[in-house]
Amino acid sequence: MAALATSVLSIGLIAAYGVAQGPPARTSGPAVGGLNIALLDVSYIFKNHNRFKAMMDDMKADVERAEAGIKTDQETIQNLAEKLNAYRKGTPDYKNLSEEITRRRGELSVKVQLQKEEFLQSEAKIYCNVYQEIQQEVNYHAAASGINMVLRFNGDPVDATKPETVIRGINGPVVWYAKERDITPIILERLNRANLNPGTNRMGTPPSRPGVGVRR
């Protein structure tokens, strides 16, 4: 059943929804080549999106409960298999118990596959809904701030002791950027605040906004 846990909680990002409040502060800095470009660390937002983390924790608990049920079924089948050794081959009792074991194994296999598909679909829906929230919030912020383009980037620092981060940094599309171009803190703060106050309307009084600052 370990395969169920590893296959669930492993889908990548998917598509586009959102909630927000109050018009965002305008991103500072001049337009570049006629474009006002901003950067967004989507991975960082997923890692720190409070409701997303809560939903994934709930799903992980569901997976663990499903695994416990599968383990119980496996133990039952194992006990029947041991009981089968007490019967002589060719006898009706041996034949009946052997058929029951085969049936239970088949049913368990189908059960595992169905649960795996169910969890994968649930996970995909969570990712999709949250990513849609991110896109909608970015769309609103960009429109209100005069941003023409938002590019995805990874703002994690490069660690010389971790080769994968070095390779990521070298291959990343962004070599340098002005810190005010990173709208990740603004979008994340608005998403988490909106989830705490889901009834708040964007048309209400705009709240005060802290500076972008350093995220890490």
**pLDDT tens figures, 98-151:** 999 999 999 999 999 999 999 999 999 999 999 999 999 999 999 999 999 999
Query: Which residues have C-beta within 8 Å of that of residue 186, sequence separation ≥ 6?
Result: 24, 25, 141, 209, 212
Give the model's pLDDT for residue 195. Answer: 83
Query: Which band of pLDDT confidence, cut at 50, 70 and 90, is reported for residue 202?
Result: very low
Where exactly are the structural domains of the chain?
35-196
| pTM for this model (two decimals) | 0.72
List the one residue out of 148, 128, 129 whose CA is nearest residue 138: 148
Total residue count of the chain as it appears in this document: 216
Selection from 109, 122, 110 nearest residue 63 by Cα = 122
pLDDT at 11: 38
Distance, in Å, from the CA atom of 104 to the CA atom of 83, rounded to the nearest integer, reads 15
35-196 sits in which CATH class?
alpha beta
Other C-beta atoms within 10 Å of 76: how many?
Answer: 13
Is the pLDDT assigned to residue 86 strictly greater than 80?
yes
DSSP 182: B
Angstrom distances, CA of residue 78 to CA of 72, 83, 100, 114, 178? 10, 9, 12, 22, 62
